[in-house]
Structure 1
Amino acid sequence: MEFLAVFFLFLCTPTTIYTLNYTFINLPDEHLRIYFSQHKDISQICIEDPDCPYHQFIDLKNENTNKCWGYEQNCNWQEQNARPHCPGDHRGWVKTKKNQEETFFTQADFGYVKQQIAETHVLCEALFPMDSSLECSKHMRFCRGRNLMINFTDLAHREEPLRYKMDVLKQGQIGGFCKLHRERLQEYADHLSPLQSWGPEMRFFDEMTERPMAANKCDVIIDKPTFIMKIDATVNMYHHFCDFVNLYASQHLNSTHYTGFDQDINILIWETYTYNSAFKDVFKVFTKNPILDLKTFRGEVVCFKNIVFPLLPRMIFGLYYNTPIIYGCEESSLFKAFAEHVLHRLEIPKKKRKHSNVIVTLLSRETKYRKIINEAQLMNALQNIDEIEVQKVSFTRDVPFLEQLEIIRNTDVLIGMHGAGLTHLLFLPDWASLFELYNCEDPNCYSDLARLRGLKYVTWEKDELLKREFDENDPENAHAAHAKFTNYSFDVDEFVRLVMTAVRHVEEHPAFEKDLEENCVDEDCTSNINQIAGTIEALEYDESIEIDSDFDKFAEERKSAKEMFKDEL
């Protein structure tokens, strides 16, 4: 593990750890035990400091078995915070259940981080502490360096906007004072595509003859750790969250130092467009500083003391996008940790429950296509079901993203047409269901994302019970061939049946019952829901009622069970 030795001091700050104020930690409660297990020195300081706010999260007796994420050097399978849940058949992908679990962990969980660490090697080697250094994982999916120089002087003469360009740099415009392993660099720079790797930039890396900072080669010296990002489409939630998930995973890749998740870092976006997005608040999870871009340093030679080139949004066999997921597995602890991290740092509140009803949110679209034609009819049908509370929302630019997250965090069942808005599923509670009303012949996109997040996924099953409406202004039906370019109406009874499938999953989930116990202001919440669940369970096992073939009868009996406790609820 040669890179560990080279980067032992990576991201060190002048701060003496014996005077910590602990604000740099700022992690969800669920992550703190792992953090203190990883950083024994900080743990010891906290133990000896009566003002440390984290005493309850330090395992004094070393009894905590879930003390690592799974990528750490000394973390064995049994000690991981969470292991893959693989209840289904792998369909011949592998030979054993253990192989299935390990495959999923490597494809879509912290095992991916572990694999990147294992594949990371030094490309430019420091011989002395003040030298430069560069290391990258295979295919240059992830790189990081120390005391590196980047020459942006040519940008002063380029008038065209730069985005997704592979010629931002030329030979020798990125480099450092270190021993360059050129053959390995060329071998690793094999994925030459803007959003797939850092090959387009690192192929121009050169070995310098003197230390750039000591030799006054820099117009600007950046002391703060800097993450340089090449980002996907910022107008689309699904694609932009490819950036955020991979940035979070990269922080784990780079977390050898106790300040690995500190928000006092720079983020520089590798383009000249000024960053703006409806989802810009998410960057506050990672940095408290303004977002930089290539205009910031146009015409200057810049030296970075610590620099990270994180995982990218469209890597071949990457995370989130282009992720091959083995059949039968779900619940990536990486995706769950990402959601917890974002909700914690953005301070999205978890509201108290006023009742035991399942909260159903229908995401309404105000776009040209994929609207629900009979939306009012479907909403009316849901409002007649006593055991749910239903709301309709439309997440336009007029609704601040933090407000959207608050709605989603307090939703049990999310319903919506295929579209980027369903990416909100990442921030649903663990017991939630996603009902992708119609997948528009793209069956894997959100079913896979729901599987990664560990949620129940439901979608429309009977095409004969939906109707398409083509655009009257498109008489040639130019868009008719694609299911995403039209609007739909849905059979009401079938819609209600599928909603209740999603609702039943929530009601029967142990985490939902626990949430009622801990988070409901009505003291009778738990007893009522347990009574209802028991009655429903009895109905579901009543052999005289065939739920699939006789749903109306089942629904009637279910409603009767609910009515028994209506006054109490």
Structure 2
Amino acid sequence: MARKTVQLVVAAISVVVAGEGTARRWDDVNLHPQHLPFFFNSNPTLADECHQDPNCPYKVHLRRGVCWGYETNCTSDQAYSYPSCPGDSRGWVQTKEEQIRTFYEQGDFGYVQQHRQELRMYCHPEQKGDSSLECSDHLRFCRGRNLFLDLRRLPQRRDPVHYSIDVLQPGEIGGHCRLDREKLQKQCDMISALQSWGPELRNFARLEEKIIRRSPHCDVWVDKPAYIMKLDATVNMYHHFCDFFNLYASQHVNNTDEWAFSTDNQILVWQTIPHYSNFAPAFDAFTKNPVWNLSRVSGKRVCFREVVFPLLPRMIFGLFYNTPLIWGCESSGLFHAFSGHLLHRLGVPQRTTGDGRVHITLLSRATKHRRILNQDQLISALQKDKTYVVQKAEYTHQQDLRLQFAQDQWTDVFVAMHGAGLTHLLFLPDWAVVFELYNCGDPNCYNDLARLRGIKYITWEDKYKLTPEDEGHHPDLGAHEKFTNYYFDEGEFTRLVGEAAKHVRSHHAWQNLQSTSDTTHKHTEL
């Protein structure tokens, strides 16, 4: 992918997200330095203020002539990224131009552009202070102003709210605006917990009174911009980071002013069970405030000045999960930006030095299935090559997520069995290789994710050089490749790692890193 190179100023950056009437503080901005020119270009009012303010430290990022890719009149030479499609589309399309365009619309900022173009108003404001509701097709993304939720029945509910589609009844969500009920109901065609906001918004009603801070309809008034999230499996890194990725993509869909990437917001998780997850620190990339769930506001009528219903993790033809990705293409700018954004917001330093050696991290599984039975033998074989630095990582639910991401940044080749831990590939350096040691009969999941992230993917090639412990025992389906453990041929393993290392050494970004060699950098086993 050809990505725009812009002059970077390594400084703390931020988007002003103060409440109404609060003075803007430039030092509150907190965006990745590479993203600042794109942010200011898409927010010209803020850019003008920065230009006129002698105290604004971001003037070098103004008027750079770049854009994310979804803005009106954004040309391909200005855009954050341009997809690479070196391979054949396998009959998906007829021309290379169609292939590039298809990938851009499926998995890059073109996906954001599509949702922005689909936005339609379903409840129209007619006077100042009225409510509003606008959504993309099938109610996959929505946003509104001055809306209310009536959760007074929630304390009497017997079952916890989790993947539930029956939380609201007619009239328990709405606002004071001209409702086009028929058009809204036609969009309620994907009634499933994590596919759309149809289960909730089919109950939308017009109120006679305006929704304002002192409205009788409001027991709780949320003045900060709010996001209501429906989460996938929070114990699984792959599925939970689908939540975070879609929240980031939704911020781009909602990017209409300088508050789009603010952390001074309120996230409300659409469930009553507590959110316990090793991956919870990822929320720090999106909000500086405590995350609520429905138990926090149960029994109350909650009103929102501004609220976003973001893209969901299991949408039909969604992105990250359930993505129909055209063959032959790679390197999504949207995924690249997500990776940098999350690392920056979490304070994880991206690697800026090298030591001339290829750093290999092997992820060790402590699960019942898909363990590497001769793991120590394979690690010892790699350690014989003194041009490698080999680490065994044991990422447990007790280990700090930031430390895991820091190790990712010092990984050139990431080796792991098929499983959610391979989601770490999203946070590897651009020159890295992910080696899915064995895909266990699921060849596309992490291959596609690596293509979207723009890093090289390899997997085991010769099934005669691996030995399963047994046939595998799925609790319902019987013999299954994912439900056993494996021995791997040492020679074939070291050969494939050697191919990965060769790719790393040939990458210009890794080569540039060696000019700032740090021979004193040490790692401890994770």
- The alignment's TM-score, normalised by the length of structure 2, stands at 0.92
Q: Which residue does the alignment assign to 1:113?
A: 112
Cα-to-partner distance string for 1:196-235 (whole Å, 9 max, x where unaligned): 0000000000111121336422111111111000000000
- SS of 1:153's partner is coil
| Aligned pair partner of 1:29 in 14, 33, 42 | 33
Of residues 407-416 and 385-394 in structure 1, the stretch that sits farther from structure 2 once superposed is 385-394
Tell me whether 1:520 sits opposite 2:517 in the alignment. yes
Counterpart CA distance in 2 for 1:375 and 1:72 is: 49
AA partner of residue 505 (structure 1): H
> By how many angstroms is 1:351 displaced?
4.8
- SS of 2:486's partner is strand
AA partner of residue 70 (structure 1): G
AA partner of residue 393 (structure 1): A
Cα-to-partner distance string for 1:52-82 (whole Å, 9 max, x where unaligned): 22122223xxxx45x1111112212222111
| Aligned pair partner of 1:50 in 42, 54, 57 | 54
Structure 1: stretches of 5+ with no match in the other structure: 1-10, 524-569
Q: Which residue does the alignment assign to 2:462?
A: 462
TM-aligned CA distance change 1:419 to 1:215, over 3 Å:
closer
TM-aligned CA distance change 1:12 to 1:205, over 3 Å:
farther
8 A Cα contact 1:470 1:480, kept in partner: no
Q: Which residue does the alignment assign to 2:358?
A: 358
Q: Which has the larger radius of gyration?
A: 1
Counterpart CA distance in 1 for 2:321 and 2:290 is: 27
> By how many angstroms is 1:34 displaced?
0.7
Q: Which residue does the alignment assign to 1:253?
A: 253
Of residues 161-170 and 195-204 in structure 1, the stretch that sits farther from structure 2 once superposed is 161-170
Q: Which residue does the alignment assign to 2:445?
A: 445
Tell me whether 1:86 sits opposite 2:92 in the alignment. no
8 A Cα contact 1:265 1:289, kept in partner: yes
Equivalenced residue count is 503
8 A Cα contact 1:235 1:277, kept in partner: yes
Tell me whether 1:375 sits opposite 2:375 in the alignment. yes
Of residues 345-354 and 493-502 in structure 1, the stretch that sits farther from structure 2 once superposed is 345-354
- SS of 1:391's partner is strand
- SS of 2:260's partner is coil
Counterpart CA distance in 1 for 2:499 and 2:21 is: 54
Q: Which residue does the alignment assign to 1:321?
A: 321
Counterpart CA distance in 2 for 1:425 and 1:277 is: 20
Q: Which residue does the alignment assign to 2:194?
A: 195
Counterpart CA distance in 2 for 1:462 and 1:310 is: 43
AA partner of residue 113 (structure 1): V
- SS of 1:35's partner is helix
Tell me whether 1:98 sits opposite 2:83 in the alignment. no
8 A Cα contact 1:24 1:262, kept in partner: no
> By how many angstroms is 1:240 displaced?
0.3
After TM superposition, the structure 1 = structure 2 runs for residues 45-444 of structure 1, keeping only pairs within 5 Å, are: 45-59=49-63, 64-65=64-65, 67-213=66-212, 215-351=215-351, 353=353, 355-444=355-444
8 A Cα contact 1:149 1:212, kept in partner: yes
> By how many angstroms is 1:38 displaced?
1.4
> By how many angstroms is 1:12 displaced?
9.3
Q: Which residue does the alignment assign to 2:42?
A: 38
Counterpart CA distance in 1 for 2:305 and 2:187 is: 23
> By how many angstroms is 1:447 displaced?
0.5
Structure 2: stretches of 5+ with no match in the other structure: 1-16, 521-526
> By how many angstroms is 1:247 displaced?
0.2
After TM superposition, the structure 1 = structure 2 runs for residues 457-496 of structure 1, keeping only pairs within 5 Å, are: 457-470=457-470, 481-496=479-494
8 A Cα contact 1:480 1:486, kept in partner: no
- SS of 2:227's partner is strand
Counterpart CA distance in 2 for 1:15 and 1:326 is: 48
8 A Cα contact 1:123 1:184, kept in partner: yes
8 A Cα contact 2:152 2:299, kept in partner: yes
8 A Cα contact 1:24 1:263, kept in partner: no
Counterpart CA distance in 2 for 1:217 and 1:398 is: 43
8 A Cα contact 1:271 1:293, kept in partner: yes
Of residues 253-262 and 208-217 in structure 1, the stretch that sits farther from structure 2 once superposed is 208-217
Counterpart CA distance in 2 for 1:84 and 1:303 is: 42
- SS of 2:306's partner is strand
| Aligned pair partner of 1:14 in 15, 20, 23 | 20
> By how many angstroms is 1:356 displaced?
0.4
Aligned-residue Cα RMSD (Å) equals: 1.9
TM-aligned CA distance change 1:351 to 1:327, over 3 Å:
closer
Cα-to-partner distance string for 1:403-453 (whole Å, 9 max, x where unaligned): 101001111000010000000000000000000000000000100000000
AA partner of residue 407 (structure 2): I
Percent pairwise identity: 50
8 A Cα contact 1:24 1:261, kept in partner: no
8 A Cα contact 1:179 1:207, kept in partner: yes
TM-aligned CA distance change 1:302 to 1:360, over 3 Å:
same
TM-aligned CA distance change 1:23 to 1:259, over 3 Å:
farther
> By how many angstroms is 1:361 displaced?
0.5
Counterpart CA distance in 2 for 1:331 and 1:300 is: 45
Counterpart CA distance in 1 for 2:275 and 2:171 is: 28
TM-aligned CA distance change 1:478 to 1:303, over 3 Å:
closer
- SS of 2:268's partner is strand
- SS of 2:467's partner is strand
8 A Cα contact 1:471 1:477, kept in partner: no
AA partner of residue 512 (structure 2): K
Cα-to-partner distance string for 1:103-157 (whole Å, 9 max, x where unaligned): 0011011111100011110000000121011011101100111001110011021
Counterpart CA distance in 1 for 2:125 and 2:74 is: 29
> By how many angstroms is 1:354 displaced?
5.7
Counterpart CA distance in 1 for 2:249 and 2:476 is: 42
TM-aligned CA distance change 1:304 to 1:362, over 3 Å:
same
TM-aligned CA distance change 1:12 to 1:209, over 3 Å:
farther
Cα-to-partner distance string for 1:457-501 (whole Å, 9 max, x where unaligned): 1100000000000299x7x99876110110000111100110011
> By how many angstroms is 1:95 displaced?
2.0
8 A Cα contact 2:352 2:513, kept in partner: no
Larger helix proportion, structure 1 or 2?
A: 1
8 A Cα contact 1:238 1:421, kept in partner: yes
TM-aligned CA distance change 1:430 to 1:351, over 3 Å:
closer
- SS of 2:339's partner is helix
TM-aligned CA distance change 1:120 to 1:481, over 3 Å:
same
- SS of 1:79's partner is coil
> By how many angstroms is 1:522 displaced?
5.4
Cα-to-partner distance string for 1:246-303 (whole Å, 9 max, x where unaligned): 0000011111011211100000000100111000000000001111011111111111
- The alignment's TM-score, normalised by the length of structure 1, stands at 0.86
Counterpart CA distance in 2 for 1:291 and 1:511 is: 38
Counterpart CA distance in 1 for 2:261 and 2:74 is: 20
Counterpart CA distance in 2 for 1:35 and 1:109 is: 17
